[in-house]
Amino acid sequence: MQEADEDLISKVYRLVIEHGESGILQSELWKVLGLTSRDGSRIASRLEKRKLIKREKVLERGRWTYKLLPLVIPIDTGSIEDAPCIRCPDEERCFVDGEVSPLTCLKIENWFNQEYLVRHGDAAAAS
């Protein structure tokens, strides 16, 4: 596979990731990138085989198309910037089987629950 093909595959994957859990219609993506439907389908198929995206068949304006959804989202360090461990006075004594442990830490538990609710909102509260 040529380097240009890999660059295009990376560009498609980045656009899918940018649309997050709501995904992006395959037909919209091809328009944005100026690709033919055939080329776009081949790229989506490659990403799906690599288990980076899934293609979900949807009916859009009376026509069948696929919604591309990310399966693997790169880690964003923003998710841990507010973790209590960074400024915890017990950080030096904290280890898995220690007197202070991340397995039993209420600060981590509270932070995690708060982050989860921020990301999942009312759907998480209703569960």
pTM here is: 0.57
% residues pLDDT > 90 (the chain): 48
Identify whether residues 114 and 57 lie together within a single domain. Answer: no
The three-class DSSP label of residue 20 is helix
Could you say which of 30, 48, 70 is where a domain stops? 70
Whether residue 127 lies inside any domain: the answer is no
Identify whether residues 40 and 59 lie together within a single domain. Answer: yes
Domain CATH number, residue 45: 1.10.10.10
Structural domain for 90, as ranges = 77-122
Number of domains the chain contains: 2
Residue 64: closest CA among 31, 35, 42, 37: 37
Identify whether residues 63 and 94 lie together within a single domain. Answer: no
Write out pLDDT tens, residues 76-108.
677 777 888 888 999 888 999 988 999 999 999
